[in-house]
Amino acid sequence: MPVPSVPSPPHDLLAVRVRDPYPYFAWLRRHAPAHPERRDGRPTVWQISRYDDVRALLTDGRLSKEPGRVPGYVPGPAGLNRHLVHADPPDHTRLRTLVNAAFVPRRIAQLGPFIAATASRLLDRTEQDTHVDVIASFAAPLTFRMICAILGVPEELDNAATRDTLMATIAPAPGVDPARMEGDLHALLDNLIAQKRAGGECSGVDLLGALVQASEDSGVMSEEELRSTAYLLLLVGHDTTMNLIGNGMLALLRNPGQTARLTGPQAGPGLVTTAVEELLRYDSPVRDATFRCAAEPISLHGQLIGEGDIVSLLIGSANRDEARFPHADRLDVGRTPNEHLAFGYGPHFCIGAALARLEGAVAFPLLLKHLGAVSLAKPADELPWRPARVMRGLAALPVMRN
């Protein structure tokens, strides 16, 4: 039986895919819901774009999270992939259980006053500024401070240099040697773990200290898994929520009517809650679900996904699927129901979802109140986006007070 031909997306949509992927996603949903990207000498990557397909495959046991299943896979020199995002059961179950207690909603809710106080201090520093970069001045330091507090990272490492070293792993700056960058991060994590072993501040009480203790007391976590898990938690605990705040503020600035609803006299905690969910859906901080590959052949929309092929589940596309969300390209801060997939679905549902939601619920009202009437300091189509495949986030969001 012949394999059906697959149309190619228009070049103009591909050209702006980093800045604005949504027209490209709409084309995929309409014309090629299971679209293969084939490049010489590299594994085939299947782009899955419709909501129902993405949600179903997020729980499909025929997909594996282990990169070693991909033919020709070579692990990075720093060995930072042995964490729960790149593990199938039973390893995934074991690793997730170790970190799960730190992120239960009840425990996260207790961070509310700390988040509000930290956010207010950051915004107070910008009070006299006519121009503010929402990312550099607020979203980046706020979200990194929160995950550092949960992990127990010493204050001297809670700084822009540490953030830059971390973020270089997913969006390296031009001219940066990847091996040197990973080596720097490897050394940073090993130093942090060594401090915990030496009985540093909060060791055994904070999450990283507890993981170090678990690795020593029971051997339930290897040294490579410990280092990789520390890396994963620092990265996703910071990057995803930073993207939520940046992407969300851009969406609100471009939709003043929705901002007015959120700041008007009828607004309350309920509307803030639905607004955060809508901002997660509308411009998801995670564009593609984390790594998956086919553990066995899968047939989808007349296409055959081969064993070992990479399967890219396009969360950003699923969240704009008109078949699931009425007027999907319209921002509606009161949208209900809103079963978006910004945090994934199934056994790999984002472990930090409660933290991200709480940070968003605190950050957006404070930002809108402290900044007052602001507008973009440059046209929206000139804003810089970080060229990361999985994440979607602005490198900067410059605004000016009106």
Concatenated DSSP letters for 339-369? ---TT--GGG--TTHHHHHHHHHHHHHHHHH
pLDDT for the residue 2: 46
Alpha carbon of 137 to those of 117, 118, 335, 344: distances in Å?
Answer: 15, 12, 30, 29
Q: Which of 224, 305, 319 lies closest to 277 in space, CA to CA?
A: 319
Spatial separation of the C-alpha atoms in residues 40 and 389, rounded to whole Å: 19
Spatial separation of the C-alpha atoms in residues 128 and 240, rounded to whole Å: 29
Residue 173: strand, helix, or coil = coil
**CATH annotation of 11-401:** 1.10.630.10
Q: Which is it for strands 45-48 and 310-313: parallel, antiparallel or unpaired?
A: parallel
Alpha carbon of 219 to those of 151, 186, 216, 255, 265: distances in Å?
Answer: 20, 21, 6, 52, 55
Spatial separation of the C-alpha atoms in residues 374 and 304, rounded to whole Å: 50
Q: Quick count: other Cβ atoms within 10 Å of Cβ 214? A: 16
Single-letter amino acid code for the residue at 43: P
pLDDT for the residue 199: 73
pLDDT for the residue 400: 96
| CA dihedral (253, 259, 263, 267) positive or negative | negative
In the block, tokens 């401070």 appear at 145
pLDDT for the residue 368: 94
pLDDT for the residue 203: 43
End-to-end CA distance of the chain: 63
Tokens representing 352?
């930090």
Q: Which of 196, 150, 151, 187 lies closest to 166 in space, CA to CA?
A: 187
Neighbouring-strand partners of residue 132 = 399
Spatial separation of the C-alpha atoms in residues 148 and 191, rounded to whole Å: 15
Tokens representing 366?
């404070």
pLDDT for the residue 320: 98
Contact of 400 with 374, CB cutoff 8 Å: yes
Contact of 231 with 185, CB cutoff 8 Å: yes
Which helix (H) or strand (E) segment holds residue 304: the answer is strand 303-305
Residue 311: strand, helix, or coil = strand
DSSP state of 136: I
pLDDT along the chain (402 residues), means of 10: 64 79 96 92 93 98 93 70 90 91 84 94 94 96 93 86 83 72 84 82 66 79 89 91 97 96 84 97 96 96 95 98 98 97 95 94 95 93 89 96 88
| CA dihedral (199, 216, 150, 242) positive or negative | positive
Neighbouring-strand partners of residue 34 = 48
pLDDT for the residue 4: 56
Q: Which of 81, 105, 110, 107 lies closest to 95 in space, CA to CA?
A: 81
Q: Quick count: other Cβ atoms within 10 Å of Cβ 174? A: 4
pLDDT for the residue 73: 76
Spatial separation of the C-alpha atoms in residues 19 and 126, rounded to whole Å: 27
Which helix (H) or strand (E) segment holds residue 293: the answer is strand 293-294
Treating both helix axes as pointing N-terminal to C-terminal, what angle do 207-217 and 91-100 enclose, rounded to 10 degrees? 130
